[in-house]
Amino acid sequence: MVHASAIVVVANRFEDLEAWRIADELKREVYALIATGPASNDFTFCNQIRESAASPTRSIAEAFGRFRPGPFAQFMGIAIGSTMETQNSLKDGIDRGYFTVESIDRASELAQRCIQVSTKLLLYLERFPDVRSVRLQADRREVRLKPDTTYYTEPKTVLKRCHKTERERRT
């Protein structure tokens, strides 16, 4: 179920994401294209385009399951790349004589829409700070060894001086 307000759209399941729905529709369109006709006899081509068409839905579902913006964005990038690979395979199918421009119109349109919607979601996710960097900041422990000097400990690193001493400030 998608709940929309003036600012936020909430997805409770990966199937609620518009990017996933369009990618799923593209996948089914590609499956129909290679089910019959000359393409169906080229098993290598069929496997390649089938895998590239199925990959975006898998990547988007995995992205949704990661919960954090950084990994979510990473998998959305993979989904976009796989959709572009599907576009390339559709054009390759024309070059091989398997498809006509008209026969792949719907699949090409779906691929373009999938890339647009996925890119918008990716750009939205990239606006958030990476959760790992926030976690590292929370892991820092402040230690005062000398007056007016602050050091921080970081996981697996040595003490790091972050403020100048009084003598360093005078020079």
Averaged over 39-45, what is the pLDDT? 95
pLDDT in tens, 75-120: 999 999 999 999 999 999 999 999 999 999 999 999 999 999 999 9
Predicted model pTM: 0.71
Neighbours of 155 (CB within 10 A): 9
CATH architecture of the domain formed by 2-132: Up-down Bundle (1.20)
Spell out the residues 6+ positions from residue 121 whose beta carbon is closer than 8 angstroms to its own: 17, 19, 76
Q: In the structure, what pLDDT confidence band is assigned to residue 68 with cuts at 50, 70 and 90?
A: confident
Positive or negative torsion for Cα 88, 94, 100, 103: negative
- Predicted local distance difference test score (pLDDT) of residue 2: 53
At residue 12, what are phi and psi to the nearest 5 degrees?
A: -90, -20
The ranges assigned to domains in the chain are 2-132, 140-170
Rounded Cα–Cα distance for residues 138 and 96 (Å): 56
Q: Which residue in 3, 11, 26 sits closest to 121, CA to CA?
A: 11
Mean pLDDT over the full length of the chain? 80
Rounded Cα–Cα distance for residues 111 and 114 (Å): 5
